A and B are shown apart, each in its own frame.
Chain A
């Protein structure tokens, strides 16, 4: 028999409850721990997430400022950026609700100041070496630090993030390039061509040479590099270019960033560096424009040492430069008369127009510049100048005569009165209108008609068969002469008057038988039938009446031009010439520093001074150039060996499907027969726009010019910043130097 007690069962049930409750408590504890751990992890993630988004917000604040600085730098240059920064224009550029409502979640600050960003120029100017594709070039520029704090004001964490960026607003002197084209570059020389120095094109570069083309340094293009001819070149070339015709000894890269001048945007503001803006740096500022305006600071007119303007009526005005004293110093006629002349003229066969040039005698200018007491004190006192740099370094020349000569009112006509006249003699010159009708009648004359009494040919010659005892004289008959004879026997042997042989008969005395001449029969000329001139009928001029009968608006066009002569030796600090007109350089340029040691026909640039040309078009005329022969055939315009040492910024006439631009090989325009003649050019070729005045296409060879033996090289002096030509423009070369997150509230990197 089995027996159990009730007490024992109750004890067992309590233990079970306790165990269950213990396990439940442990489970709850575990659950609470897990939940707590999970909650803390989510908070950390959220804080991290907020840190990231806030960092991005801070970066956005720096980017907004950076964007504004870059845009201003591209358009107007580093000077404008410095000016704006000094006025704290950039530091207030924080992201706002007008950009996006998202930004209302953030509080931006720079250092301890709310609603601003720290923008600081940390280095006014630093010099840096550029890498490929601009190896060997140096860019100079100011460094800016931009630091922004951001805090999410809607978050419970309120994390502050700080981002800093540094940017170098670099600028490359444009004459450090051997060749720089803002528009399409074409290089299609017929002869071997070696290009020393860096080459850049802001659009596409096309190469289709007939001789080997070698680039010694880097070549870059914002668009494409093409070994073929430009599709807009109508010439028949071998394309694609045969292999090994183009050699790149340096890097060659396409699709690089454009290198722009800080010359503003187009009217819509969407495109920078447009040709019209670039061309405006050569132009005279419009009335009322401040030299300190964004456009004004880029105009070379405002930067030149001396300004020469020639206005309608041949009025010449010469003043000091704007930058020196606002052009306040007037240079009188007796000062400039030795080096300015406006009386010449020549024919530009390429443009097919007469040129009325402003001639600048650079040798005479040099002498005047070294000794004058009018301009030197002004320049010595100008910014960045001293008595040792008081010589003229740059001149601006504008010929505005053609601009005001555009319309002529013509109020005359010619009515010439005529009457039909007949005269026996030919009318005198200028007394009739052609043609003259010559009246004739058939007539017979006994003697040969004299010249001018008949119209050739003689229609017929009358003849009569005639027998004469004497042989007819020459010209009195036509055809052959028949000699008549009779057989005769005489005792005396005839010595003349017979025809043929004499037969000697035997007997005593001997007799002789022969054909004795009795006469001559011929067709004797008895007269000539001719168209005898009886007179002349014509419209004889009987008088001229001049009537004021109409008015015509007519554009009388003589092209302006600036002609530089006697420039073998420049003023002591070099010379740059700026003009909105076409520029012509006659003879050797910048081949000596002292006037005695002339280095010509050489790549040696040791004896040169900084020099640059800025013009609408650029033409080289040799030492043999004679304006009097400018309209003659090419054979009478033979060039002589020439040397030009200067940088050039000018325009071209681009290929357009009908005409070829002429290519880099015709960058300097020529108007003479250079065949077999050497043209040494040491400098830098910069194309920035299409020529506006001398805008007629490349004419081909054979008529206007024949190509020279091209001895062209980059002037290595330009790699030295102190030897750059006066007024050298600089292209923007932006460089992002550093990016970093910083300690919240930091004010420096």
Chain B
């Protein structure tokens, strides 16, 4: 009888595993259609990317608007910059913050690249230089967040109409991949938007409590 029970359990486990695998395949297939080629991850299984808006009471600071980013194993949160609108793009696992004037865009994008640790600065710098081929990469500095320190690259890109776009491209690794933070704005308004970007980075943190997966 015991053997029979064990066999039954094995059978059910096998079915559940098969069902989970099937769901995973379906999800991957859907994702592969939606994701642009550049966002394909190294690992085949892209972690979850659920973004939930929330609010948080701070001591003497009132209520602040935050976003919670739920991945497969971790939960991150960050504060929404003041005077910025938010757009969550599930398709490419990114969040786009656009200033009310439209002159500045901050993008937070999660990928499975560089899981665990960023590559060497020189290597990542070359990759950034290639990614922003039309821009001048002028400086590398630490990308400070409350979730750890990564690498930050400053870029300038001339635009038609005698304009210059100022960009900051930052990378921070976590166990399942990395987050890329990009600020793009008019050079003349950089000082104003630099702060919003810095505070967003400051507020980016890993929640202390481990996330319990739903049964």
Measured CB to CB, the closest approach of chain A to B144, in angstroms, equals 4
Look across to chain B and name the residue whose beta carbon is closest to the beta carbon of A665: B60
Q: Is B202 touching A352 in the complex (CB atoms < 8 A)?
A: yes
Give residues of chain A (433-485) contacting chain B, Cβ–Cβ below 8 Å: 433-438, 455-458, 478-481
Contact with A along B180-206 (1 / 0, CB 8 A): 000000000000001101110111010
Residues of B within 8 A of A552 (CB): 136, 138, 156
Contact with A along B141-183 (1 / 0, CB 8 A): 1101011010000101000000000000000000000000000
Q: Does A7 contact B (CB under 8 A)?
A: no
Q: Is A479 touching B64 in the complex (CB atoms < 8 A)?
A: no
Look across to chain A and name the residue whose beta carbon is closest to the beta carbon of B113: A434
Q: Is A633 touching B146 in the complex (CB atoms < 8 A)?
A: yes
Residues of B within 8 A of A556 (CB): 139
Measured CB to CB, the closest approach of chain A to B80, in angstroms, equals 12
Q: Is B11 touching A480 in the complex (CB atoms < 8 A)?
A: yes
Q: Does B213 contact A (CB under 8 A)?
A: no
Look across to chain A and name the residue whose beta carbon is closest to the beta carbon of B60: A190
Residues of B within 8 A of A702 (CB): 56, 58-59, 61, 64, 203
Residue among B59, B63, B119, B130 facing the most chain A CB atoms (10 A cut-off): B59
Q: Is A544 touching B40 in the complex (CB atoms < 8 A)?
A: no
Residues of A within 8 A of B129 (CB): 413-416
Instruction: State the CA gap A658–B45 with chains docked (Å).
Output: 42
Q: Does B34 contact A (CB under 8 A)?
A: no
Q: Does A430 contact B (CB under 8 A)?
A: yes
Measured CB to CB, the closest approach of chain A to B153, in angstroms, equals 11
Look across to chain A and name the residue whose beta carbon is closest to the beta carbon of B42: A436
Look across to chain A and name the residue whose beta carbon is closest to the beta carbon of B79: A703
Q: Is A437 touching B156 in the complex (CB atoms < 8 A)?
A: no
Q: Is B144 touching A478 in the complex (CB atoms < 8 A)?
A: no
Which of A112-120, A602-610, A693-701 is near enough to bind chain B?
Answer: A693-701
Residue among A237, A416, A552 facing the most chain B CB atoms (10 A cut-off): A552
Residues of B within 8 A of A665 (CB): 60
Contact with B along A324-342 (1 / 0, CB 8 A): 0000000000000000000
Number of chain A interface residues as a range: 35 or more
Residues of B within 8 A of A699 (CB): 199, 202
Residue among B22, B61, B64, B130 facing the most chain A CB atoms (10 A cut-off): B61
Measured CB to CB, the closest approach of chain B to A440, in angstroms, equals 10
Measured CB to CB, the closest approach of chain A to B178, in angstroms, equals 10
Q: Is B11 touching A479 in the complex (CB atoms < 8 A)?
A: yes
Residues of B within 8 A of A163 (CB): none
Q: Is A635 touching B208 in the complex (CB atoms < 8 A)?
A: yes
Q: Does A235 contact B (CB under 8 A)?
A: yes
Partner of B149, one of A430, A479, A631: A631
Measured CB to CB, the closest approach of chain B to A529, in angstroms, equals 13
Chain B interface residue count, CB cutoff 8 Å, equals: 59
Partner of A437, one of B7, B40, B45, B203: B40
Q: Is A414 touching B137 in the complex (CB atoms < 8 A)?
A: yes
Q: Does B126 contact A (CB under 8 A)?
A: yes
Q: Is B42 touching A675 in the complex (CB atoms < 8 A)?
A: no
Q: Does A10 contact B (CB under 8 A)?
A: no
Give residues of chain B (69-118) contacting chain A, Cβ–Cβ below 8 Å: 79, 82-83, 111, 113
Once A408-B138, A414-B126, A635-B208 are accepted as A-B contacts, the answer to whether A352 and B194 lie under 8 Å apart by CB is yes
Measured CB to CB, the closest approach of chain B to A290, in angstroms, equals 35
Q: Does B211 contact A (CB under 8 A)?
A: no
Contact with B along A404-442 (1 / 0, CB 8 A): 000010100111100000000000011001111110000
Residues of B within 8 A of A410 (CB): 136, 138-139
Q: Does B33 contact A (CB under 8 A)?
A: no
Once A416-B126, A700-B61 are accepted as A-B contacts, the answer to whether A554 and B42 lie under 8 Å apart by CB is no
Instruction: State the CA gap A456–B44 with chains docked (Å).
Output: 9
Contact with B along A650-682 (1 / 0, CB 8 A): 000000001100000100000000010000000
Residues of B within 8 A of A433 (CB): 127, 130
Instruction: State the CA gap A550–B135 with chains docked (Å).
Output: 10
Once A430-B123, A455-B44 are accepted as A-B contacts, the answer to whether A554 and B138 lie under 8 Å apart by CB is yes
Once A434-B42, A696-B195, A702-B56 are accepted as A-B contacts, the answer to whether A236 and B130 lie under 8 Å apart by CB is no
Q: Does B53 contact A (CB under 8 A)?
A: no
Instruction: State the CA gap A42–B18 with chains docked (Å).
Output: 124
Instruction: State the CA gap A638–B22 with chains docked (Å).
Output: 48
Residues of B within 8 A of A479 (CB): 11
Residues of B within 8 A of A191 (CB): 60
Q: Is A352 touching B146 in the complex (CB atoms < 8 A)?
A: no
Q: Is B136 touching A413 in the complex (CB atoms < 8 A)?
A: yes
Residues of A within 8 A of B202 (CB): 349, 352, 699, 703-704
Residue among A347, A438, A702 facing the most chain B CB atoms (10 A cut-off): A702
Look across to chain B and name the residue whose beta carbon is closest to the beta carbon of A191: B60
Q: Is A675 touching B59 in the complex (CB atoms < 8 A)?
A: yes
Look across to chain A and name the residue whose beta carbon is closest to the beta carbon of B128: A414
Once A413-B137, A703-B199 are accepted as A-B contacts, the answer to whether A659 and B61 lie under 8 Å apart by CB is no
Contact with B along A211-245 (1 / 0, CB 8 A): 00000000000000000000000111100000000
A-B pair count, CB < 8 Å, reads: 135
Measured CB to CB, the closest approach of chain A to B189, in angstroms, equals 14
Give residues of chain B (44-66) contacting chain A, Cβ–Cβ below 8 Å: 44-45, 56, 58-64
Instruction: State the CA gap A235–B64 with chains docked (Å).
Output: 10
Q: Is A349 touching B144 in the complex (CB atoms < 8 A)?
A: yes
Q: Is A456 touching B21 in the complex (CB atoms < 8 A)?
A: yes
Instruction: State the CA gap A190–B60 with chains docked (Å).
Output: 5
Residues of B within 8 A of A190 (CB): 59-60
Once A414-B125, A429-B119, A665-B60 are accepted as A-B contacts, the answer to whether A457 and B25 lie under 8 Å apart by CB is yes
Residue among B41, B120, B123 facing the most chain A CB atoms (10 A cut-off): B123
Q: Is B59 touching A701 in the complex (CB atoms < 8 A)?
A: yes
Q: Is A631 touching B144 in the complex (CB atoms < 8 A)?
A: yes
Instruction: State the CA gap A634–B205 with chains docked (Å).
Output: 10
Residue among B7, B22, B141, B202 facing the most chain A CB atoms (10 A cut-off): B202
Instruction: State the CA gap A458–B21 with chains docked (Å).
Output: 9
Q: Is B144 touching A658 in the complex (CB atoms < 8 A)?
A: no
Instruction: State the CA gap A31–B83 with chains docked (Å).
Output: 93
Q: Is B58 touching A701 in the complex (CB atoms < 8 A)?
A: yes
Residue among A351, A354, A435 facing the most chain B CB atoms (10 A cut-off): A435
Residues of A within 8 A of B60 (CB): 189-191, 210, 665, 701, 707
Instruction: State the CA gap A633–B172 with chains docked (Å).
Output: 14
Residues of A within 8 A of B198 (CB): 351-353
Residues of A within 8 A of B137 (CB): 413-414
Q: Is B126 touching A544 in the complex (CB atoms < 8 A)?
A: yes
Q: Does B30 contact A (CB under 8 A)?
A: no
Instruction: State the CA gap A635–B205 with chains docked (Å).
Output: 11
Q: Is B126 touching A480 in the complex (CB atoms < 8 A)?
A: no
Instruction: State the CA gap A480–B7 with chains docked (Å).
Output: 7
Q: Is B21 touching A457 in the complex (CB atoms < 8 A)?
A: yes
Residues of A within 8 A of B194 (CB): 352
Measured CB to CB, the closest approach of chain A to B55, in angstroms, equals 11
Measured CB to CB, the closest approach of chain B to A524, in angstroms, equals 15
Residues of B within 8 A of A631 (CB): 142, 144, 149
Instruction: State the CA gap A389–B146 with chains docked (Å).
Output: 48
Instruction: State the CA gap A633–B21 with chains docked (Å).
Output: 37
Q: Does A706 contact B (CB under 8 A)?
A: yes
Instruction: State the CA gap A437–B35 with chains docked (Å).
Output: 14
Once A437-B40, A480-B11 are accepted as A-B contacts, the answer to whether A430 and B82 lie under 8 Å apart by CB is no
Residues of A within 8 A of B42 (CB): 434-436
Measured CB to CB, the closest approach of chain B to A734, in angstroms, equals 39
- 24 A-B pairs within 8 Å (CB atoms) are namely A190-B59, A351-B198, A352-B144, A352-B199, A352-B201, A353-B198, A354-B141, A408-B139, A414-B129, A414-B137, A429-B119, A430-B120, A433-B130, A435-B113, A457-B21, A457-B25, A480-B7, A632-B146, A659-B82, A699-B199, A702-B56, A702-B58, A702-B64, A703-B203
User: Which 4 pairs across A and B sit closest by C-beta, in order of nearness?
Assistant: A352-B198, A457-B21, A700-B61, A190-B60
Contacts A352-B201, A700-B62 aside, 14 further interface pairs with beta carbons under 8 A come to A191-B60, A347-B144, A354-B141, A410-B136, A436-B42, A457-B25, A479-B11, A480-B11, A633-B147, A658-B82, A700-B58, A701-B58, A703-B202, A703-B203
